[in-house]
Amino acid sequence: MSRSLKQDALTIVEESIRHVLPDNAVKEKLKELNLSRVVLVAIGKAAWRMAKAAKEVLKEKIEKGIVITKYGHSEGEIEGLEIYEAGHPVPDENTIRATERALEIVKDLSEEDTVLFLISGGGSSLFEKPKGSVTLKQLQNITDQLLKSGANIGQINAVRKHLSEVKGGRFAQKVFPARVVCLILSDVLFNRLDVIASGPAHPDLSTSEDALNVLEKYNVQVDENVLKELKDETPKILSNVESYIVADLKLACEKAVEVAERLGYNTAILTTSLECEAREAGFFVGSIAKELVLHDRPVKRPCALVLGGETVVRVKGKGKGGRNQELALAAALKIAGLDGVVVCSIGTDGTDGPTDAAGGVVDGKTVQRIKDSGFDPQAFLENNDSYNALKISNDLLITGPTGTNVNDLILILAK
Ligand SMILES: Nc1ncnc2c1ncn2[C@@H]1O[C@H](COP(=O)(O)OP(=O)(O)OP(=O)(O)O)[C@@H](O)[C@H]1O
Ligand SMILES: O=C(O)[C@H](O)CO
Ligand SMILES: [Mg+2]
């Protein structure tokens, strides 16, 4: 094996991400569905690509439509569609403006009409109209508290759904009696349809009580009017919706294994549902990496172990980072001093936390490089400053928006 482990890690993640781009899957599904005439609504980080693919298949069968994606995530005009960019991970004025426009576009449809709803992760922040007396400012504040609390996406979205005019099935309810056909790129573990983008077209499996429990458990401060709004229950039954998943994390993990095998590695998928604190996951992944190097098990070297999932971070420090970078930094502390091993952790959407990095790829010398520059790697971790730590060690992974979003991919390579 003459290539470096880092190069191989990059090849594996690049190819597996390419394999979960939504384009082909959207096209194939649409050919199968054979829709006659649609109004298109696309939301999320992959909205532009999904809409572009739909346009190529459906052409003038799309009567009108709207794409709402994150800033920097649209790639030009698509004939006949209105394109909006808005705030993520916290909604902003453009989120509301675009969502109101989407509601206008689907107003007064009849049972003869079909809304083609293209959904991808990030949708919760990009598609939103606060309910009743809830203000955007209140919603921004609650979202910010939740994102830093260590709550998982199911818990965060239980709250979001109960404060929204469009989430938790309410969008599909508004569109009724028109039919809603959803093509969904999943960035939620176990593909939970009511959680992905806060399930705007899926019966809500969470209750007001669940939402209240999340606020209490994670000590989220909210105003009195918000508590009142939260008490209205979301729809639990919808009769006008059908949903199809077009790609997910499991597929990305399977592709990663396929590429690694082609490169000559023995492989195993350890999990496709990693879900715990990012730093704990990093320590655990680091300890497995150690086992590979010291005892050549559980899989014989050269080997590539793959994990998929979504960790959480309780952001207490003042630093800059994301869950993948934090995982990678924690793993680096465990594998310090070892030769022949790397750990890579990446958000498949190309953005990890509020940074320009997608994740990190660390080796046994990462910690030494940070120390050689006069810094304490552990202190970076304490301050949730994984971005600056990995910047110093030159271990950041920077891809820019990838056009897809199926959650996070972690690799351990050893030779
Ligand atoms: N300094 C930090 N260190 C580590 N993680 C952080 C830090 N600041 C914010 N985060 C994490 O970044 C997360 C938001 O990151 P990101 O935009 O990558 O989310 P995402 O899960 O990809 O979004 P979506 O699920 O909507 O697609 C927050 O949930 C928060 O836990
Ligand atoms: O938008 C969201 O809620 C997350 O990305 C999960 O889909
Ligand atoms: Mg996500």
Write out pLDDT tens, residues 139-160.
999 999 999 999 999 999 999 9
Task: Please indicate whether residue 386, judged by its CB atom, sits closer than 6 Å to ligand 2.
Answer: no
List the CATH number of the domain containing 132: 3.40.50.10180
> What does the pLDDT look like over 39-53, one tens digit per residue?
999 999 999 999 999
Question: Which ligand 2 atom sits nearest the alpha carbon of residue 186?
Answer: 7
In this predicted structure, the answer to whether residue 54 has a pLDDT above a threshold of 90 is yes
Does residue 410 contact residue 308 with C-beta atoms inside 8 Å? yes
In terms of domains, do 242 and 303 share one?
no
Q: Looking at residue 119, what is its pLDDT? A: 98
**pLDDT tens-place string over residues 88-142:** 999 999 999 999 999 999 999 999 999 999 999 999 999 999 999 999 999 999 9
Atom of ligand 1 lying closest to residue 312 CA: 31
* Segment 308-336, tens digit of pLDDT: 999 999 999 999 999 999 999 999 999 99
Q: How far apart are CA 193 and CA 198, in angstroms?
A: 8
Q: What is the pTM of this model?
A: 0.96
315, 238: one domain = no
Residues 314 and 169 in one domain: no
Domain end among 247, 274, 303: 247
Same structural domain, 266 and 232: no
Residues 100 and 237 in one domain: yes
Percent of the chain at pLDDT > 70 equals 100
C-alpha to C-alpha distance for 116 and 26, rounded to whole angstroms? 11
pLDDT of residue 398: 97
* Mutate which of 147, 248, 276, 399 for ligand 1 pocket (most atoms within 8 A of beta carbon): 147
Find out whether 355 and 321 touch, Cβ atoms under 8 Å.
Answer: yes
Ligand 3 centroid distance, CA of 83 (Å):
22
Number of domains observed in the structure of the chain: 2
Residue 211 and residue 327 in one domain: no
Structure confidence at residue 234 (pLDDT): 98
Dist CA 76 CA 80 (whole Å): 12
**Cα(172)–Cα(25) distance, rounded to whole angstroms?**
23
Last residue of a domain, one of 247, 268, 298: 247
Cβ-based burial of 271 (10 A; exposed 0-12, middle 13-18, buried ≥19): middle
Per-residue pLDDT at 2 = 56
For ligand 1, whether the C-beta of 326 sits within 6 Å is yes
Distance in Å, CA 407 to ligand 3 centroid: 5
- Radius of gyration over every alpha carbon of the chain, rounded to an integer in angstroms: 22
- Choose which residue among 125, 313, 386 to substitute to test ligand 1 binding: the one with the highest number of ligand atoms within 8 A of its C-beta: 313
Chain mean pLDDT for the chain: 97
Taking CA atoms only, the protein residue closest to ligand 2 atom 4 is 121
Closest atom, ligand 1, to C-alpha of 197: 26
Of 188, 218, 247, the one marking the end of a domain is 247
- In this predicted model, what pLDDT tens digit does every residue of 267-290 receive, in sequence order? 999 999 999 999 999 999 999 999
| Peptide linkage before 235 cis (omega within 30 of 0) | no
Same domain? For 293 and 356 the reply is yes
**Whether residues 279 and 294 fall in one domain:** yes
- Full residue range of the structural domain in which residue 255 is found: 5-16+250-414
State the ipTM, two decimals: 0.97
Give the integer Cα–Cα distance in Å for 397 and 343.
Answer: 12
Q: What CATH number should be reported for the domain holding residue 401?
A: 3.40.1480.10
Q: Which atom of ligand 2 is nearest to the CA of 126?
A: 1
CA–CA gap between residue 40 and residue 54 (Å, rounded): 9
pLDDT at 1 > cutoff 80: no
Tokens describing residue 180: 């809603």
Structural contact between residues 292 and 414, judged by C-beta atoms closer than 8 angstroms: yes
Residue nearest to atom 2 of ligand 1 (CA): 321
Residues 240 and 266 reside in one and the same domain: no
State the burial class of residue 266 (Cβ atoms within 10 Å of its Cβ: 0-12, 13-18, 19+): middle
Residue 217 pLDDT greater than 80, yes or no: yes
Distance from residue 355's CA to the centre of ligand 3 (Å)? 14
Q: Are 172 and 275 members of one domain?
A: no
Predicted confidence (pLDDT) at residue 169 exceeds the cutoff of 60? yes
Same-domain pairing of 235 and 300: no
Those residues whose C-beta lies under 8 Å from the C-beta of residue 242, and which sit 6 or more positions away, are 179, 180, 181, 182
**Are 207 and 320 part of one and the same domain?**
no
Question: Degrees (nearest 5) of the Cα angle 285, 286, 288?
Answer: 65
* Residue 3 predicted with pLDDT over 90: no
Please give the number of the atom of ligand 1 that sits closest to the Cα of 349.
22
137-174 as b/e: b if 16+ CB within 10 A: ebbbbbbebbbbbbbbbbbbbbbbbbbbbbbbbbbbbe
State the average pLDDT over residues 167-179.
97
